[in-house]
Structure 1
Amino acid sequence: MGVSTVITSGKGGVGKSTVSVGLGRALAQRGRRVLLIDCDAGLRSLDRMTGTEEALVFDLSDVIQGRCAPADAIYPCTETEGLFLLPAPSSGEDMASPSVMRRLVPLLKRYYDHVVLDSPAGVGGGFRSAACAADRALVVCSPDPVCVRSASAVKRLLEKLAVPELRLVINRFNSRLFDETGVYSDLDNVIDASSIRLFGVVPEDYSLAAAFLKGKKAEEHSKGMMALCRIAGRLDGETIPLSVF
């Protein structure tokens, strides 16, 4: 039986989907079978980011409505063996309900080592559907006060949904900007303000974002991908020291 992890954030624009795809690729490169589930109905992006856009015939709504078997709506991702995608519906009206996800995700966990659920930004119905069947959550935020406050609010909602394990990923970290802004004296203050235990820091890496927007693998030794590989190792149960880079 695999493990389900929801990747979420209280605020859009923090690179949550980049983290989802990067972790999916990193886990698959470790020899794991990984399923990405795009839960952002109406605004799906993971098909583009994984290079599966042109192959899509079915999506999550087709599975829910019984128009196809789950396996028919799951697509292998380009350039990374062992990574698969279940795309979100193209219409927001076809969003999966929490009750459906509570039945579907445990079924899919039988066939994959990791099921990674990419939650839509915000805390609406899509967030609840993505989080309700998760074994753990990674809350993604950038180190700015608005985003950190949002992360703290998401933490409280995840606790209400009884997600067992919550961790923080600080994404798009730019040390120079962080120091010049001066809102927080150090990353410990960010962690304290969010009230979530830190799981990893991913530096700002334009090459990483550019590669995923083209549906390609990121450079293995790029700063962002190396950070995501360390986080993937922790998700896989390894003890890896925390590092800013």
Structure 2
Amino acid sequence: MGVATVITSGKGGVGKSTVTAGLGFALAARGRRVLLIDGDAGLGCLDHMLGVSEQQVFDIADVVSGRAEPMKAVYSCPFSERLFLLPAPAREDDVISPNIMKQLVSVLSRYYDHVLIDSPAGVGGGFASAAASAQRALIVTTPDPICVRNANKAHFLLDQAGIKQQRLIINRFSGHNFYTQGFYPDLDSVIDSAGVRLIAVIPEDTHLAAAASNCEPAPQKSVGAMALGRLAARLEGEHVPLAALQKF
């Protein structure tokens, strides 16, 4: 039975879907079968990032409505034989109810080592649906006050939903920008403001952004991909130290 992890942010534009895709690649590279579920009804992008948009016929709404069997709506990523995607509904109105999502993930997780659920931005119905079936949560933020405040809101709502195992990912970190902008004196202040224990710092990396846009995996030796690889190891219980932040 695979572990279901919701990846959320509380606010859009922090690179949450890029983190989801990159983490999926990293876990698959470790020999795990990984299913990504795109929960962003009407605005899903993981199909493009994983290179499956051209072959896509069905999505999660078709499964829920009975128009397609679950496995007919699950697509294998051409870049990794162990990475799969269940695409988001094409229409914004087709948000899956929390109860149905919980039942669906319970069934699908039998066939995968990890199920990563990419939550839509905000804390509305899509957020509730994405969180309903998860055993743990990764909250993605960038190190600026607005995003950190929304990460704290997401933390509070996840706690209310019963998800106690939460970890913080600080994404798009640039040491130069962080210390010159002066929003926070140090990373500990970011962590304290978010109210969530840190699990990873993903540095600003143009290779990750380009890979997402060009529907291809990022180079394995890029700083972002290596940070996601360390995150994958930590999720599987390995003790991996953070890289030296001054290098970013």
- TM-score over 0.5 for the alignment? yes
> Deviation per CA, 1:145-180, whole angstroms, max 9, x where unpaired?
001100111100000110130000000001111011
Query: What amino acid maps onto 1:211 in structure 2?
Result: A
- Whether 2:161 is the aligned partner of 1:166: answer no
- Between the aligned partners of 1:22 and 1:135, the Cα distance in structure 2 is 20
Tell me the SS of whatever aligns to 1:166.
strand
Question: How far off its partner does 1:140 sit?
Answer: 0.1
Structure 1 segment 8-19 matched on structure 2, within 5 A = 8-19=8-19
Question: How far off its partner does 1:242 sit?
Answer: 2.5
Structure 1 segment 56-75 matched on structure 2, within 5 A = 56-75=56-75
Question: How far off its partner does 1:207 sit?
Answer: 1.1
- Between the aligned partners of 2:79 and 2:110, the Cα distance in structure 1 is 24
Task: State the superposition RMSD in angstroms.
Answer: 0.8
Q: Which ranges of 4 or more aligned residues in structure 1 deviate by more than 3 Å?
A: none
Query: What amino acid maps onto 1:207 in structure 2?
Result: H
Runs of at least 5 residues in structure 1 that lack an aligned partner in the other structure: none
In the alignment of these two chains, the number of paired residues is 245
Question: How far off its partner does 1:206 sit?
Answer: 1.0
- Between the aligned partners of 2:156 and 2:136, the Cα distance in structure 1 is 14
Aligned to 1:211: 211
Aligned to 2:76: 76
Query: What amino acid maps onto 2:12 in structure 1?
Result: G
Aligned to 1:112: 112
> Deviation per CA, 1:121-160, whole angstroms, max 9, x where unpaired?
1101000000111010000000000011001111000001
Aligned to 2:137: 137
> Deviation per CA, 1:12-54, whole angstroms, max 9, x where unpaired?
1000000000000000000000000000000010000000000
Tell me the SS of whatever aligns to 1:233.
helix
Aligned to 1:31: 31
Query: What amino acid maps onto 2:184 in structure 1?
Result: Y
Aligned to 1:49: 49
Question: How far off its partner does 1:181 sit?
Answer: 0.5
Aligned to 1:225: 225
Tell me the SS of whatever aligns to 2:111.
coil
- Between the aligned partners of 1:22 and 1:44, the Cα distance in structure 2 is 16
> Deviation per CA, 1:177-232, whole angstroms, max 9, x where unpaired?
10111111110110011110000000000111111221101000000000000001
- Between the aligned partners of 1:181 and 1:10, the Cα distance in structure 2 is 23
Question: How far off its partner does 1:92 sit?
Answer: 0.7
